[in-house]
Structure 1
Amino acid sequence: MSTEPKTQVTPEPEQEQPAPTGKAQPARRPMAAADWLPTVKTTLAAIVLALLIGAVLIALSSRDVIESLPYFFSYPWDFFSRAGDAIGTSYWALITGSVGSAHAVGTTLVRSAPLICAGLGVTLAFRAGLFNIGAQGQLVLGALAAGYVGFTWDLPPGLHLLVALVAGILGGALWGGIAGVLKARTGAHEVITTIMLNYLAAAVLIYALGKNAFQRPGSDNTQSPPVFDSATFPTIGNLHLGVVVAFLAAGLVWWILNRSTLGFELRAVGANPDASRTAGMNVPAVYTTAMVVAGGLAGLAATMGILGHHDSLSPTMAGSIGFDAITVALLGRATPLGTVLAGLLFGALSVGGVAMQASAASTPKELTEVLQALIVLFVAAPALIQGMLRMKSTDENKTVMAKGWGG
């Protein structure tokens, strides 16, 4: 029996992977342009639909529009003209406030940078089959480490920034690694452990701010000193170098996931850990590595504020960035490019929301959060969008691989 003729139909030349890993075949084929089109169309349709619903909410939140309702059937034009004015004014303020000038674009990029970094951490964990809810806690520990190095160590400029940046990444990586080790060694579900670690990180921050080493001199408030100028990102106008670092991090995550052996193992374990284990991969090590890198990216997100614009450590300094990162990763369908675009969108909505509130329509800023929620809702339910708009359904190339409670 000769086996040579059968070798022409094997997938080795396309995958270019060692034979043992090829047996499990967990990796997905690269996405072609035709594969991206249905996803892009569905996402754009979700955004447009969310904006349409948002327009209705904006109209109904306007006092002038509400005042025209009692005589709607007598003079309907008043209602529609006032509603059109409110919607047009609000959305124009949203656009000009977020991308209408160089200053606005810079503010949007600065606001988007931490969302992109933390979202990349959630995305990378997704691809390994892990649901990282702990970006908030990882961000807090990263901020603690970067802040401490930034306002206590005396180093030359440049070197001080580099050391503080590395400290922030290591702080987040350490906190993420705890959840990774618990998952790898004990099987503890990462959703539970990361949620609990979020609470623990908040408690650690409060405890640290009560100590002299972290407290601002001459103040009883739970607030640290700002970092020294030598540890801050260089700025051009209102744009700091951390924005460039965020985009470089996105490129690095893309390379890791799509061009490296580690990325192949992450995607393989995320698709089928049992098959990956059979193929000889160290699944516990992959889980741990994924959470360490994810935590490091969340720690990098913390440096955008601490080292970017002199934010002091305080109980509220992290805001909701870590939780918003989950939304960004989901909206970006757990891909680096999608996460960057989703982070930019959320940053623009956040900055533009302030401009909407300051516009003549006085639109409540909370409506931008409603818009974000609607966009994510529709993106997370593509079948709903496809059914409403009679779009062709596609189930190929799903990228969010995180398992549920039984995973």
Structure 2
Amino acid sequence: MNNFIDDPGKILSFLKRLRASNISIDVIYQNKKTRGIVRYVGEFSFEIYCLTKIEIDKPEIEIEFNFESKVYHFTTEILNQKDTTLLLMLPARINIWAQRKYPRKNVYNQAFVSISFIKPVEYSSDLPQIEGVSENLKDIKSELDKDVPDLKRIVSMILREISKMSDDYDFVFYKRGMTLPSSAIISRLFRKPLLVEDTTNLESYITTYENFNIVTYGDYMKKANWDDSKVVDQIKKLRATFVSQNTRSFACVPVRVKNDIIGFIFCRKSNGRFIIRDILYLDALSYIISEAYIKGKINSLKNSRELKLPIIDIGGGGLRFEIDGIIGKLIKPDDVLRMFIEVYNKNLQTIGKVIRIDTTKSRNKLWIACQFTYISSEDQQFLVSLASS
């Protein structure tokens, strides 16, 4: 049986059952908690009546409750608040957790944990195997082979190589919320390099490169079901923009780390054209940047006593903490962690097993749920008392 519900129809039916049962639920916003009941369920939203009013300045909120001997939890967004009544968006997923033996207390930004692994982090490289290493790439390989490569130096050396094949180029680290050009949006959507081989030729915008994992603007237009007139109008606008920038050939290559995009390489030629071989080479260079990036992240885990992670909630049986999404993807269920906890001016040392990894509304954060496998009776009693207060 799945430990979650993600079918929209089943989520709607479940919330209607919850309303009919008049079950009391926990409404959690940051470290504030109140009780509430579901009193209306619509097709896209539902309404909760809360016992007390919570002052809310950000839209994300947590719901947690016991129902039929299970613990259910989800995060969703507030659409409207009127006194003690909240109108919430239907969640995309409801997590089903095992019944807790001990209560939990929300301590976000009031308690922190540092972690170290009982066994080394396992990581398989995504770097493609390149036959032989040319003389001009040996310094890049030498830097990349270090346990902790200098990412800035790697990027600088990669740009040096790109400058040999491109008149104008740039590398941009992607940050959530930043405004991206259409080329990067499409490249991010397909997770593939985008190529316009000849910006003056309309066919170049819709050419298919399926066998080479390269996309064009035409692939996006097809996915969006644009009609022919809209496609032609957009291509003319794109061509006019490239011509005004004196760009004859253009490429945008995403820098991928696992399921994330951390940056983009933009390349332009005023004369001549990029060919498929150029794009494949640029793609290989992008993987060198991602390899250096992930090695740095792994090193931060090895030295994680210096990395203090915010605890979401904690109790006598375990805790949940928040972590950078890319680092979090290196952690797996059943991993065993040594945890150094700072909570309300008290320092605790425990060992815990990862039982669950939760996604959040923020794509660049994960919540790691751990069950204590070793904790002193004194420390456990302190956490039990804390969670019950």
> TM-score scaled to structure 2, two decimals?
0.25
Q: Which structure has the bigger radius of gyration?
A: 2
> TM-score scaled to structure 1, two decimals?
0.25
**Greater relative CO, 1 or 2 (CA 8 Å, sep 6+):** 1
Bigger share in helix: 1
Bigger share in strand: 2
